[in-house]
Amino acid sequence: MLRFPNPGSTINNFVAVYRAAINQLRGCEVTLDNLLAATVRANLATSSGHSGHEAIARSTRPDRSKDPLYNQLKMYAELFRALGWFHPTDRRALINRFTLLGEQVAAAGPHYSSLLGECVLGIAHPSHTLTIKGDYNLRPFSAILQTMLQCDGALSRDEMIVGPLSVSSDRTHKDIFNVASRINELRRHPDELYAAMADLVHVRGVKKTTFENYTRWPIAVMRDLGWARKDKLPYRDSNKTFQVHRLTDVGEAIAYRVSKSADLRADQVDTLPTQYKSALALTTHYSMLSRSGFDISHVQNSLSEISETYLKALERLEIDPEQPLLFSPFQSMTTTDIADAFNQATPVQSVSRTNSLDTSIKAGSGTGVGRGPRNHLFVAPNFVDRVPSESKAHDKDLSEELQKLRRTEGSVQAATAAFLEAHSKDNQMAFYPLVSSMFRIIGFQCDYSRAGVNYQRWDAWIITKGTAIPIEIKSPTEEQFLSTKAVRQALENKIVLLSRGGLVTKAGVSTLIVGYKIPNERSEMSTLIDDIFSTYEISIGVIDLRVLATLAIKAVCEEITIDSNQLIRLRGFLDG
């Protein structure tokens, strides 16, 4: 499948990043760090929960491949190049310069949509200015629009993936017809498309979510340009419907224009003599601008002078002059041909201006990489002898289950893994009692709130040392991975308990979150836990099922448990 990077979801921001860059760096060669600095200065960059220079500081890493902001700007740069707004310099692939076409985008101000649409249609592979993986002979947006026309005016995201974005060539009408025919067949039943996607995933060795990510930018473009809107379609042989992106009137008009246009590609233009290429480049460039609402009156005389050469070029290409042309010179011709046609000088300034990154902002320069040092939020349990607490009916069965797991699996680690797997599909009705039972096994008085008791806003509570610890529980069916949503709810639980009473608690006592798994990227949760503590002096502790199971197994097998003084003040992730 043709891959589109996804630096962000709105075209407004996308264009704003380019505009910020060109306004600050006009005339320069542009590295990714220059682009990054320009984006930050324009308040368009965030990372690790921060903005501005703090975002850069927290993003920057010695290994740039792990630098989220840098990678995001890399994606922007790739798309700018695809759109003809950046051209590569001769020196290195990651150094670019602004193009005349990009200048026009900036000059359009808020009226950039039409020109953006032309540039989007102008993306075509192969291209002299952008190398991509895969052997594609494809003008992707043209392929998508024309396929939509033949598929009831609409395509779903998955249909785009298996259809026009996975076809190796769209050079002929038959190519499009074949794609559309296949899509229409797949609409018989949901299983058909499902199988087609599964096949693609298997063949390419790429996850489905990755394919989906590759469509985000093109879908956002079509949405924000007003070419498509969301709709639903029924399957032919099923009661189910599926979400599609349907052409609007504007999108349909664009699609029809595209279908009737002569689609001129780089390999055809390469065969032309230089003067023909120049005439073609100039005429099509300014025609594109004219269609996009620019006033080309003062270049009209110059264009008239080359019109004869332009017509000869079309004749050589066997294109009817009356037929609309689908061609964007800055996106299809070599940089040398462009420079010849537009008599352009190369930039004189390189990257030494103050627009470079402040070199004092390095990884670990005080604010820390990523979310900053977070070690204080990963807390190993302090173990003490277990004092059995009051048990309930289910506790004995659970204790025996845990003991058996420990015996059969051979280690605590293996036993907890098996326990996790066994409870991976628990809903609230199963998970809440399970959690409270496990706390009792560990040695704490614990119970869970019953449905319908609205004043008990917390899902469970522990009573220890005469004080209540509210617990927010997220079952695996609610959330596989805990998130900031649970943090907010845990905070609210504590506030409500302090305000309304019902159970005795104190301000310094923690509020807990128990869930199936903690997220792989824990930074947002941990930063928020720190923010909440620094602001409200409320401690939020997080225990996932693996750690809880570890504690419970140790309790039944080794008669040890977590120190209640630690639990009552837990802040961060209990790390068993």
- Rg of the chain (C-alpha set): 30
Q: What DSSP state is assigned to residue 137? A: B
Does position 129 interact with other proteins (CB under 8 A)? The reply is no
Q: Is 354 exposed, middle or buried (0-12, 13-18, 19+ CB in 10 A)?
A: exposed
Q: Which of residues 185-224 bind other proteins (CB under 8 A)?
A: 223
Task: Between 48 and 355, name the residue whose CB sits nearer to other proteins.
Answer: 48
Does position 500 interact with other proteins (CB under 8 A)? The reply is yes
CB 268 → other proteins: shortest distance, Å? 23
Does position 343 interact with other proteins (CB under 8 A)? The reply is yes
3-state secondary structure of 244: strand
Does position 472 interact with other proteins (CB under 8 A)? The reply is no
Q: For tokens 């473009």, what's the residue?
A: 221
Does position 488 interact with other proteins (CB under 8 A)? The reply is yes
Kindly write down the DSSP assignment for every residue of 334-386, as one continuous string: -HHHHHHHHTPPPPSB-TTSTTSPPTT--TTSSS-STTS--GGGEEPPPEEE-
Q: Which of residues 228-247 bind other proteins (CB under 8 A)?
A: none
Chosen residue from 22, 38, 108, 176 binding other proteins by CB under 8 A: 108
Does position 342 interact with other proteins (CB under 8 A)? The reply is yes
CB 480 → other proteins: shortest distance, Å? 18
CB 9 → other proteins: shortest distance, Å? 3
Number of residues that bind other proteins (CB under 8 A): 68
CB 531 → other proteins: shortest distance, Å? 3
H helix or E strand, kind and range, residue 530: helix 523-536
Chosen residue from 189, 291, 362, 457 binding other proteins by CB under 8 A: 457
Q: For tokens 């070599």, what's the residue?
A: 334
Sign of the torsion formed by the C-alpha atoms of 7, 8, 9 and 15: negative
CB 572 → other proteins: shortest distance, Å? 15
Residues 6+ apart with CB under 8 A from 270: 334
| 442 vs 555: CA distance, rounded Å | 5
Q: How far is CA 203 from CA 162, 198, 207, 214, 317, in A?
A: 12, 9, 11, 17, 38
Task: Between 53 and 316, name the residue whose CB sits nearer to other proteins.
Answer: 53
CB 507 → other proteins: shortest distance, Å? 8
Does position 75 interact with other proteins (CB under 8 A)? The reply is no
CB 22 → other proteins: shortest distance, Å? 11
Does position 510 interact with other proteins (CB under 8 A)? The reply is no
Does position 8 interact with other proteins (CB under 8 A)? The reply is yes
Does position 44 interact with other proteins (CB under 8 A)? The reply is yes
| 429 vs 233: CA distance, rounded Å | 36
CB 408 → other proteins: shortest distance, Å? 42
Bridge pairing between strands 262-263 and 325-326: parallel
Does position 540 interact with other proteins (CB under 8 A)? The reply is no
Bridge pairing between strands 378-379 and 383-385: unpaired
Chosen residue from 239, 352, 359, 499 binding other proteins by CB under 8 A: 499
Does position 52 interact with other proteins (CB under 8 A)? The reply is yes
Chosen residue from 35, 528, 548, 556 binding other proteins by CB under 8 A: 528
| 451 vs 470: CA distance, rounded Å | 16
| 37 vs 355: CA distance, rounded Å | 6
Kindly write down the DSSP assignment for every residue of 111-127, as one continuous string: G-HHHHHHHHHH--BS-
Does position 100 interact with other proteins (CB under 8 A)? The reply is yes
Does position 295 interact with other proteins (CB under 8 A)? The reply is yes
Chosen residue from 205, 454, 466, 520 binding other proteins by CB under 8 A: 454
Question: Long-range contact list for 434-437, CB < 8 A, 24+ apart?
Answer: 434/398, 435/460, 435/471, 435/473, 435/514, 435/548, 436/460, 437/392, 437/394, 437/395, 437/398
CB 458 → other proteins: shortest distance, Å? 13
Q: What DSSP state is assigned to residue 169? A: B
User: Angle 477-483-486 (CA atoms, 0-180°, nearest 5)?
Assistant: 80
Does position 40 interact with other proteins (CB under 8 A)? The reply is yes
Does position 296 interact with other proteins (CB under 8 A)? The reply is yes
CB 25 → other proteins: shortest distance, Å? 16
User: Angle 53-55-61 (CA atoms, 0-180°, nearest 5)?
Assistant: 105
Does position 258 interact with other proteins (CB under 8 A)? The reply is no
Question: Which of 562, 547, 557 lies closest to 406 in space, CA to CA?
Answer: 557
Q: For tokens 């989007």, what's the residue?
A: 120
Does position 534 interact with other proteins (CB under 8 A)? The reply is yes
Chosen residue from 71, 287, 344, 428 binding other proteins by CB under 8 A: 344
**Stretch in the footprint of other proteins (CB under 8 A) among 26-34, 298-306, 327-335, 399-407:** 298-306
CB 355 → other proteins: shortest distance, Å? 17
**Stretch in the footprint of other proteins (CB under 8 A) among 90-98, 104-112, 546-554, 560-568:** 104-112
Does position 71 interact with other proteins (CB under 8 A)? The reply is no
What amino acid occupies position 306? Answer: I
Bridge pairing between strands 572-574 and 378-379: parallel
Q: How many CA atoms lie within 13 A of 12 on its CB side?
A: 5
**Stretch in the footprint of other proteins (CB under 8 A) among 103-111, 183-191, 444-452, 561-569:** 103-111
Chosen residue from 62, 93, 103, 376 binding other proteins by CB under 8 A: 103
CB 223 → other proteins: shortest distance, Å? 8
Chosen residue from 5, 66, 75, 107 binding other proteins by CB under 8 A: 107
What residues make contact with other proteins under the rule CB under 8 A? 8-10, 12-13, 16, 40, 42-55, 100, 103-104, 107-111, 223, 226, 282, 286, 289, 292-296, 298-299, 302, 341-344, 454, 457, 484, 487-489, 491-492, 495-496, 498-500, 524, 527-528, 530-532, 534-536
